[in-house]
Chain A
Amino acid sequence: MLEVQNLSMRFGGLLAVDQVTLDVQEHEIVSIIGPNGAGKTTVFNCISGFYKPTGGKILFEGGEIQGKPDHKISRLGMVRTFQHVRLFGQMTVVENLLVAQHRHLNTNLLAGLIKTPDYREREQKSLDRAAYWLERVGLMELANREAGNLAYGQQRRLEIARCMVTEPKLLMLDEPAAGLNPAETKDLNQLIISLKEDYNVSVLLIEHDMSLVMDISDRITVINQGRPLAAGTPDEVRNNDDVIKAYLGEA
């Protein structure tokens, strides 16, 4: 469903991403790994439309999307989380989920002002969808708390829930396990697998936690200094000499 061909991104003199090619098929978890500063987040930013790539093609379900504005790309059914959590801190947990569902709601101002039956029905549906996901990630009790006051692990889960209420086809997670304790990481592990198995979402994952990556990925792409180093199944990558030298050996 997602195809990235020869993607390049140049910042002035720095070639942060150099000819990266990868693809994500339906019902698949694909991971991008690589040392810090390798250009993983930059790849995400290009795919999700935050940066306009300086070279290469990005296709989503057959259509070219490179250089499109970010909100249009997200509306195609491809949402992301951020390496540093980005919530609407002063809004409540449930409001965070409602913001994400603006497209499911009737955006006609008048319909909302006079609360037409259609508007009420859609509003109730998005409330129910929010409730469902809050329960799914274990935040139901905190629904009316300000999002900024949640613990770090809870914020991470809320960010994923906020993506899921948009009913995406592809979910992009940027280091979702960063800063989580081992127990939380294990929960996250199960959550990501369940997203694929039960909700039929494809996942593109950036992660440092090797055990997590090796556990849940169907395929892995390794990037080093902006260049693709290797790609394949977890076993292939684990046994790749270049990878062992450049990445795993270091760590």
Chain B
Amino acid sequence: MATPNFKHALFCAIVTIVIAYPILGLNLVAESTRVIVEGADTTTVISVFAAALVVFLFQLFRDRIMASLGGLPKLNPFADREHMPESKRARLESWVLTGIVVLALFWPFFVSRGSVDLATLVLIYIMLALGLNVVVGLAGLLDLGYVAFYAVGAYTFALLSQYAGVSFWMALPIGACLAALFGLVLGFPVLRLRGDYLAIVTLGFGEIIRILLNNWTALTGGPNGIGGIPDPTLFGMEFGRRVKEEGNTSFHDTFGIAYSSEHKVIFLYLIALILAVITALIIRRFMRMPVGRAWEALREDEIAARSLGLSRTAVKLSAFTIGAFFAGFAGTVFASKQGFISPESFVFLESAIILAIVVLGGMGSQLGVVLAAIAVTILPELAREFSDFRMLVFGAAMVLMMVWRPQGLMPMRRTHIQLRRQE
């Protein structure tokens, strides 16, 4: 019993040293023209060996540690409380959700500009994750290039405003529809693919879009990006100090209040909030409609779904198209918020983060996705000084989740359907 554990633990410790020492301990130093390798200082060496010791001890007593952690859920005071009746639970849930939205409506007026700005970003991620949830969580299609549709939405607005002077409100539906069209176009070649193959092709698609944006300098400005993207207006009122567009008025003049740059930030936040709520409501509705059930049926058993007359083509394409549509939504808001976009904003890491939100939140669960979006966006901001370790913490969080809650923070709950007795 102890021997295999000991061997395994020793092996893990050695691997830790072999990996950690060259990465953390060896430095390349440029000395005039030559580059020399410099050994680690004592503290680094000590910490590497300390880390190896921790790994060794953890692996050695792993069974016992895991067993004691398994007892943890018993500490949860809610663990063995009685389940609420279904109807009461649903009512409570809708009250809580409404409460949160109302709170979110008034919250920005009492906090700093930076927080509101960050909250807007969270809302954009919520929209993205809700959209990707359709593709990955409901339809079970692993899409690693989702950021491409986000980019299509953002660039649609940026280009339309630059070349045709189109406003935010016009660009919003156009950007979303164009992203949806891209979703449809991507859907066709990958219809027959599943799992790993699908993931690789969508990953490639995401990169193609980014590289295209990077290299089509004449149109997109390449790596320099596009700036001067206008802010949204409220019934023709602009939020800038001076009115830029002919025929518009300015917000602060109309209401006779002093100009404040906060107005614009709050306005953008409110737009993002409303769009995120709309996104959530629409997708929630879809989930209870034939389309939504068809997505899930295809995820559960494609052969059975087809044997009941569901067309694989229609179901998969609708998932890709609708998912992409909401990414286009989010992209337009993002472009307007930043005022400047470049291909930098649409790298693979973004796809990975959105996917992580979906997985952490619990596939198919909307509330879980919202919580995970908040956690994944805000935690790195709170822990700025640890930003070097951001990916490390991220990875560790994913591993821990997979061990303790593979179904995500809040796994999807099935809707309770009340039936009328027949006969």
A interface residue numbers (CB < 8 A to B): 48, 50, 69-72, 74-75, 79-80, 82, 86-92, 94-95, 98-100, 102-103, 105, 107, 109, 112-113, 127-128, 130-132, 134-135, 140, 143-144, 146, 162-163, 166
Contacts and interface: CB of A to CB of B under 8 A. Distances in A.
B312 interface: yes
B423 interface: yes
Contact of B423 (A95, A135, A144): A135
A70 B312 CA distance: 10
B129 to A, nearest CB: 20
A109 to B, nearest CB: 7
A102 B108 CA distance: 44
Interface string B266-296: 0000000000000000100110011101101
User: Across chains A and B, which 5 residue pairs bring their CB atoms closest together, nearest first?
Assistant: A88-B300, A86-B304, A131-B419, A74-B309, A112-B289
Contacts of A69: 306, 311
A191 to B, nearest CB: 16
B414 A146 contact: yes
12 contacts: A50-B307, A69-B306, A86-B307, A92-B417, A94-B419, A95-B414, A98-B290, A98-B417, A102-B308, A140-B421, A143-B419, A144-B414
A124 B57 CA distance: 61
Given A99-B293, A102-B309, A107-B291, A131 B414 contact: no
A146 B294 CA distance: 16
B interface, size bucket:
20 to 34
Given A86-B303, A107-B291, A112-B285, A75 B416 contact: no
B417 A128 contact: no
Contact of B290 (A70, A102, A132): A102
A90 B420 contact: no
A166 B311 CA distance: 15
B9 interface: no
Contacts of B289: 109, 112-113
Contacts of A50: 303, 307
A127 B307 CA distance: 21
Given A88-B301, A107-B290, A131 B421 contact: yes
A69 B310 CA distance: 11
B305 interface: yes
A80 B305 contact: no
Contact of A144 (B305, B416, B420): B416
A99 B420 contact: no
A132 B423 CA distance: 8
Contact of A112 (B291, B300, B308): B291
B306 A71 contact: yes
A71 B422 contact: no
A163 B309 CA distance: 11
A21 B312 CA distance: 31
Contact of B310 (A80, A86, A102, A113): A102
B304 A82 contact: yes
B417 A143 contact: yes
B414 A92 contact: yes
B86 to A, nearest CB: 8
A140 B291 CA distance: 24
A163 B307 CA distance: 9
- Of B296, B310, B423, chain A has the most CB atoms within 10 Å of the CB of B310
B297 interface: yes
Contacts of A143: 417, 419
B422 A128 contact: yes
Contacts of B86: 144
